Amino acid sequence: MAILNDVKRYNLEIYDLYYNNVCELCDNSRTSAFGLEVEKKLNGISTLKFKIPINSPKLKYLVNETFLIKFEEHYYLIKNQNEIRESNIVCTVECEGIEIGLAGRKCPKINLIGQTARELFETVLNESNWVFAGTDISDNILRHFSCDGESLSVLEAIYTIAENFDATIEFGTNEGNRHYVYLRKNVIDNGFYISSKFNLKSLEINRDSKELCTICRVYGAIDDDTGNRINIMSVNPTGRDYIENYQFYLDMGYDIEYIRKHPELFYKEITVNYDLITDVNELYEIAQEQSKKHAYPRVNYSVTLLDLYEMDNRFELEKLSVGERVHVYQFDPIHNTEFMAEARISSINKNYDNPFNTNIEISDTIVYNDSLNKILNNSDKVDRILGNQSVIHGMYIKEATIDTLHCKDAFIQTAKIADLAVTAAKIAQAAIGTGHIKDAAIDNAKIANASIDDAKILSLNASKLTAGTINTADVKVMSAEGEVEISGYQILIKDSSDMLNPYVRVVMGKYRKADAPPIIDGEEDSEDNYEYGIVIRGKDGQTVMWDANGVHNAGITDGAVDDNKISDTANISGSKIDINSMIRIINENGTSEKINAMQILIDGKNLHTKFTEMSTTIEDQKKTMVQMQSDIKQNAESIKLSVESIEKVEEVVDLLGTEVKIITERYPVYKIIGKVYKNKKDITEQIPSHWFFWTRMSNNPEADGEWNTEIGSSGIKEVTINNDRNNKNAFFSLIIDDGK
């Protein structure tokens, strides 16, 4: 087995879930663990991996989810084992930081508005057995957090809160094996340098502009009154619902006027919604932070370095930690210069068996000599640069900015000069395809025949311009900001109050009909799809107020139609008149004007005649109703007498009788029917059912009691019984009881 006995000793220990020490993994024996690798990430889960021979007696303790690995005061949970059966049989053990347990717990349903970092973390960690150890963030800084109780784990929740504070999470365990979380805002800087002359092996640079934005829109919670999200227009000095930041392009040399004229090149938008924020000032503050965050491309670096501390602890260097700021220097032997930057460590991947191969990822980079980098990136070759009095040989510079240039002899193939002062110029031959002359004074110029590819004229007297017809099919005429445009058969007038979304308000000339089918490539478009006229749209750029068909409803303002606008011969359909509103207004105004009943016809008769007939009918119906009322009163008296006649049981019952009916003959089933008589008249139907009480007496008193309770007292006028053993020789009696 090719495992050396002098393997570096790690303080790598196995613990059970009671936090009892079981054994050490690295004891310099032939079955000792080796190949230890640890990776730590900013706001991420730490991982630990090592190898151990398959015949190690300690392998029995390396059970997934059952034992812990402790290294550098941090606990790791065993997650995976992989046996590699090659020349030597070893097992690779992979572990994750103890904080992974927070990923298995759901964050409770909470909705916290304007809370400190401590209040937010203590609420989220309440039932997790983790504690919040503190933060360097002031209690004056408040943030929001909401969770529906389903979508986030506790781990995801604390990462989200940390991001809201633009801070980082640190996990740890105290002496009592209590796990804690610390929130850090300020960056630690121990003055750690990574230099190509000292410990830097390689440097990989990545510039990513995918998240670059120049226009940041941030919206808050939904306003209950309007149904729209809260925006920053009321507090933004520009009055817009977004923040612009073109600093990156301005640094690159583009002026703001050119940027605004070419939104297709420079306008890059992002939109962020914050469902809990209702304060517009807080929303504006966050919008500024987001705009600043995305104003520049991200620059990330991957660095491979020599871990001198692990090689020899005589180097008095603090161990690197995730989130720490480092300073990077790389010497460039070709250009005889150094790359200088400072950045924050976002991850560390450390191999403890090979200190020559420690990798760190750094981000949020600040490059000090960025202007020099631009020259180097845009140059094909720079031999040497030697301080203030540099001697340069064979140097090709693609782009350079030089304050003062003293040149003895210059051979220039192409020159673009804004302002040229020449004492004596001798030009044997000049061929100018395109000339950019900012200021030129020519006493006399005779040009027999000139072909000018491109001319920029500062001022031109219109009286000296002779022009024929300008074909708008070839030339588009536009105003400076594009509000007016003449092209082809159209004159367009645009509304640019919103610079990002200008839209056409007026179209004059030939335009496509609104109901015309879409244009299909390769197919001929019919002239029937077009018409001539004027189209005027509303403020939204969509509502048509006027077109070739005339004025639309939106083009008529409220109150514009009065009596003068209606023709004397106009016949307005009754279906277009709101009859109900007309009647309501007549009644409300109490006008003295009356409508003549003789002029209103109903079923061919005037209203007066119709009302007379209705009055006669109502009078006849009144007499009928009076007669019915008398009959009803007599019936009520009769009913009252009937009820009073059976008010008392003693007065009702002359004779109780029973009837026996056989329902089936094959299997005798009997029905006993109770009868009540008064003056020899059957009045059973007039007696309420709940007055009837039946009693059964047989040789089984217990069964009789159940029958009397369930059936006999159920308020029924007839009883159905089977010819079974209990009923065969039983005696049934009926009692009428009104409960009084």
Token pair, residue 3, equals: 């495992």
- Same structural domain, 203 and 341: yes
Phi-psi region of 224 (alpha: psi -120 to 50; beta: other; left: phi over 0): alpha
Mean pLDDT of 517-524: 78
Rounding to the nearest 10 degrees, give the CA dihedral for residues 562, 567, 569, 570. Answer: -60
Q: Is residue 486 in a domain?
A: yes
Query: Are 203 and 87 in a shared domain?
Result: no
Residues 6+ apart with CB under 8 A from 162: 43, 168, 169, 183
State the Cα–Cα distance between residues 361 and 348, nearest whole angstrom.
Answer: 7
237 three-state secondary structure = coil
- Predicted confidence at residue 546, as pLDDT, reads 81
Long-range contacts of 13-17 (CB under 8 A, 24+ apart): 13/69, 13/70, 13/71, 14/58, 14/61, 14/62, 14/67, 14/68, 14/69, 14/70, 15/67, 15/68, 15/69, 15/70, 15/75, 16/66, 16/67, 16/68, 17/66, 17/67, 17/68
Q: What tokens were used for 442?
A: 């020519």
- Residue 439: the pLDDT is 61
Tell me, what's the pLDDT at 48?
96
pLDDT of residue 136 exceeding 90, the answer is: yes
Residue 465 lies in a domain: no
Whole-angstrom distance, CA of residue 556 vs CA of residue 574: 22
Please give the single-letter amino acid code of residue 506. Answer: V
Nearest one of 301, 308, 332 to 199, comparing CA atoms: 308
> Which of 363, 378, 393 finishes a domain?
378
- Give pLDDT, residue 187: 86
Q: How far apart are CA 715 and CA 719, in angstroms?
A: 10
H or E segment to which residue 359 belongs: strand 358-367
* Phi, psi for 381 (deg, rounded to 5): -155, 130
User: 184, 189, 368, 207: which is closest to 302 by C-alpha?
Assistant: 207
Residues 201 and 267 in one domain: no
Which residue among 378, 396, 426 closes a domain? 378
252 in any annotated domain: yes
- d(CA 301, CA 324) in angstroms, rounded, equals 14
pLDDT in tens, 323-369: 888 877 666 666 565 666 777 888 888 888 876 677 777 765 444 33
Euclidean distance between CA atoms 37 and 34, whole angstroms: 9
For residue 86, is pLDDT > 50?
A: yes
Residue 7 has pLDDT above 90, yes or no: no
667 with 714, same domain?
yes
Residues 6+ apart with CB under 8 A from 49: 35, 36, 37, 38, 92, 93, 94, 95
Please state whether beta strands 215-219 and 269-273 pair in parallel, antiparallel, or not at all (unpaired). parallel
What is the average pLDDT value for the chain, to the nearest integer?
76
- Give the range of the structural domain holding residue 38, as residue numbers without chain letter: 12-100
Closest CA to 183 of 160, 167, 172: 167
Helix (H, G, I), strand (E, B) or coil at 619: helix
The lowest-confidence range among 47-61, 85-99, 539-553 is 539-553
Give the 3-state secondary structure percentages of the chain, helix then strand then coil, rounded to 5.
25, 30, 45
Same domain, 347 and 199: yes
Tokens of 726: 């209990």
Amino acid at 158: I
pLDDT at 22: 94
Are 112 and 230 within one domain?
A: no
Q: How far apart are CA 126 and CA 107, in angstroms?
A: 10
Query: Looking at the predicted structure, is the pLDDT value of residue 371 above 50?
Result: no
CA distance 641 to 231: 80
- Average pLDDT value for residue range 422-428: 66
Q: What letter does residue 594 receive in the DSSP assignment?
A: -
Instruction: Examine residue 1 and state whether it is found in any structural domain, yes or no.
Output: no
- pLDDT, greater one: 17 or 605: 17
309 and 231 part of one domain? no
- Within a domain: 573: no
Note whether 335 and 358 are same-domain residues. Answer: yes
The radius of gyration of the chain from alpha carbons, rounded to an integer in Å, stands at 49
Residue 503: the pLDDT is: 73
Provide DSSP, 438-462: SS---S----SS---S----S---G
Report pLDDT for 378: 36
Q: What is the pLDDT of residue 326?
A: 80
Burial class (CB in 10 A: 0-12, 13-18, 19+), 306: middle
Mean pLDDT of 533-544: 82
Task: Give bridge partners of residue 74 from the DSSP assignment.
Answer: 71
pLDDT the model gives residue 390: 31
Q: Is residue 566 a part of any domain in this protein? A: no
Residue 604's CB is within 10 A of a number of other CB atoms, namely 7
Q: Are 498 and 505 in contact (CB under 8 A)?
A: no
Which pLDDT belongs to residue 499? 62
Place 99 in a pLDDT band, splitting at 50, 70 and 90: very high
Structural domain count of the chain: 7
* Residue 566: predicted pLDDT: 77
Residue whose tokens read 């025949």:
449
pLDDT confidence of residue 622: 67
Specify which residues 89 forms β-bridges with. Answer: 85
What H or E segment, with its residue span, contains residue 90? strand 89-97
Has residue 114 been placed in a domain? yes
Look at residue 30 in the predicted model and tell me its pLDDT: 85
For 568-617, the pLDDT digits (tens) are 777 777 777 777 777 777 666 655 556 666 666 667 777 667 677 776 66
Q: Could you give the maximum distance between any two Cα atoms of the chain, in Å? A: 154
Whether 508 is in a domain gets the answer yes
Write out pLDDT tens, residues 236-271.
999 999 999 999 999 889 999 999 899 889 999 999
Same domain (yes/no): 664, 638: no
**Domain closes at, from 378, 398, 414:** 378
Q: Does one domain contain both 239 and 110?
A: no
Residue-wise pLDDT for 622-678, tens only, equals: 666 766 666 666 655 554 544 444 445 555 565 666 665 656 555 677 788 888 888
The reply to whether 201 and 337 lie within a common domain is yes
State yes or no: pLDDT of 426 exceeds 60.
Answer: yes
- The predicted pLDDT at position 17 comes to 92
Give which of 71, 67, 70 is closest to 81, Cα–Cα. Answer: 67
Question: Could you tell me if 96 and 35 lie in one domain?
Answer: yes
